[in-house]
Structure 1
Amino acid sequence: MTAPEIVPLAGLLEENLASASPDFLRAMVKTFAEALMSADADAVCGAEYGQVSDERVNQRNGYRPRSWDTRAGTVELAIPKIRSGSYFPSWLLERRRRAEQALVSVVATAYLLGVSTRRVTKLAESLGVTQLSKSQVSEMAKHLDARVAEFRNRPLDAGPYTFVWLDALTQKVREGGRVVNVHCLVAVGVNAEGQREVLGLDVAAAEDGAGWLAFLRGLVARGLTGVQLVVSDAHAGLVEAIGAALPGTAW
């Protein structure tokens, strides 16, 4: 049986990423915050970095370091400097908690659903940044998308993963002009340091044995080892997939 549709998967994933993968979350928050500041500084200068433009009113002039405390630990930010006057993002001072929550939320959503320019634009606007060009927004989305892909395909080398939890959550998504149900297959494990870790997440059209088997084999190919106990519901296809992909593992 899958979880009901009202389960906030993005929020659940955000909680797991924040508590179990601080290095990943910290790196992605840093990447996105610096991309946002770079685009904002370009807007202050009147032109993008390195662009020749008659509308340019200022020049970029390197960076200065700034520590930012977040739930994932301290992030060392590189804040752009400009030649005339000074630049400092207001959201970093006045809305620190709100900014951090917004960035963590978009990171989690990006992991789950991918990054869209609309989502990036909305995040920037929520932080008071409204002068971004389409090319800047697109570039920021690409930055975050690349880090998400890197994390989703990373080697699972922090094993052995003695305990693994598997579940599928049903979500509604818009596809081809209509709303359909998809099944999000999630794996969370305990690594060699005793910490929870999001091992993988995949989206399938149906929760069946073939989908679970492909998902688990993908985890094994990335290095999932040492599993002694898998915890899940009694979905027949899932139980059979566990036996096929992780032979000898207790369920």
Structure 2
Amino acid sequence: MPKSAQPWVATLVRTIFDQPTAEAVRAQHTWVIDALEAKYPAAAEHLDAAREDLLAFAAFPREVWKQAWSNNPQERLNKEIRRRTDVVGIFPDRAAIVRLVGAVLAEQTDEWTEARRYMGLDVLAKVRLRLICGDTPGQNPLPQTLTA
């Protein structure tokens, strides 16, 4: 699609995430595809093919939707790795980079495990309970191998 149409399409796609219920999310996704089909069929086809991946967040309780779509923790981790590697500048070999990045990852894991949880334990328990029971409307229950 032309660059001039990208803001309009991005706004349309964002409306999918602004819906109050899982059913409304799915309906809005269908509406967005219909709206794009006439002018930008390739974009509509791409969104339709990505339907399940794009709408996966709707299987979770509403209160965790923002955390489910967000990649803020990943961006924060990448920023911390970049900050630490920029300090060193030039590494003598690949093993040195792996050691530094491994140490940063281990430190971040400890920090997230002990101090900062992205989702509280009560919310995670609710998410797990809902997905194991398979009571999400419009969704098939998870296979037994995923519920153990």
TM-score, normalised on structure 2? Answer: 0.30
Which structure: greater helix fraction? 2
TM-score, normalised on structure 1? Answer: 0.20
Which structure: greater strand fraction? 1
